[in-house]
Amino acid sequence: MCDDFTEESNARWLAAGKLSRRNFGMLGTGAAAFAALPGCMTGAGTGGETPLAGAETKYQTVTITTPDGTADAFFVHPVTGRHPAVIMWPDIAGLRDAYKTMGTRLAAAGYAVLVVNQYYRSSPAPIVATMSDWRTPEGQAKIKPMIAKIDTPGIARDAAAFVAWLDGQPQVDTARKVGTAGYCMTGPYTIRTAAAVPARVGAACSFHGADLVSDTPDSAHHLIPAVQAAMLIAIAQNDDAKDPNEKVLLRQTVDTAKRKAEIEVYPAQHGWCTIDSPVYDEPQAERAWGRMLATLSANL
């Protein structure tokens, strides 16, 4: 997740003057989408329609019964038709306006998107308003105890419950596979989701994912042989600098299991894909977004 190494690395990168209007997307797609935040519109939380490029979309806040309690989530989909479903797991700062926007953009591309609150065991979303709030001492003091309540069996239970809920929605085409995308701490959640419901999950996309490989028995990479999904694993340059062997072990595991995966180190910092991140890098985020769309299109 966003550990001390990542925070210090990103702080040095920002201090070196590498953050610019181009990086933060002030003039590009990221900013344009952020301006259309569904959370800022009248009716957000009770449902409404959001105009973004592509299909017109409709959204609502929903609740999902899991073995561990009741999870809240943001469900957004094209106004008409049935579509392949995608579970979007937010980064360490949780479900908030930035991820509602990202989910809505994906829905406009033709998907029924469930953006989940991974901290539902502790509190409804939002936990904090922006990624910058997580970086404060107050934000970290608030979220770290919530992280401690999430264990790997719980992630698998959540994933199965979310897939089952989606399969019951009229907007979801159950003849198509389900996709999943995760960011930062939830990058490995995508592999765990694919392993929890292998017959249903066709694509798993991890962006600047943390702890994909560890020396613990329940490391996410050990689940790859159980996964039937195609995987997209986009690694941040500072994460790779911290552990350059991770990509090697991931590739070895994928090849040994004869699974399909695109594994690449991007020339961007941990957090580069999230539109409210201080290190958001629009060109590299757009490239990763394009690879996600290609992976979903080919495998769902």
Beta strands in the chain (DSSP E): 48-50, 57-66, 69-78, 85-89, 112-116, 178-183, 201-207, 230-236, 261-266
DSSP 24-40: HTTTSHHHHHHHT-GGG
pLDDT score for 54: 79
Integer Cα distance of 120 and 165 in angstroms = 16
Phi, psi of 249 (to 5 degrees): -65, -40
pLDDT score for 33: 45
SS3 at position 160: helix
DSSP letter at 277 equals S
The residues, any chain, with a CB within 8 Å of residue 94's CB and separated by 6 or more, are 117, 118, 119, 125, 126, 127, 128, 143
Q: What is the pLDDT along the chain (300 residues), one digit of tens a residue?
A: 455 555 555 455 455 555 443 343 333 344 444 444 443 332 333 456 554 557 899 999 999 999 999 999 999 999 999 999 999 999 999 999 999 999 999 999 999 999 999 999 999 999 999 999 998 999 999 999 999 999 999 999 999 999 999 999 999 999 999 999 999 999 999 999 999 999 999 999 999 999 999 999 999 999 999 999 999 999 999 999 999 999 999 999 999 999 999 999 999 999 999 999 999 999 999 999 999 999 999 999
* Whether 233 contacts 264, CB under 8 Å: yes
Domains of the chain, start order: 4-299 (3.40.50.1820)
SS3 at position 295: helix
pTM given for the model: 0.88
pLDDT score for 238: 96
pLDDT score for 13: 43
pLDDT score for 16: 58
pLDDT score for 42: 28
Nearest to 281 by CA among 21, 12, 6: 21
pLDDT score for 268: 98
* Whether 22 contacts 282, CB under 8 Å: yes
* Whether 190 contacts 158, CB under 8 Å: no
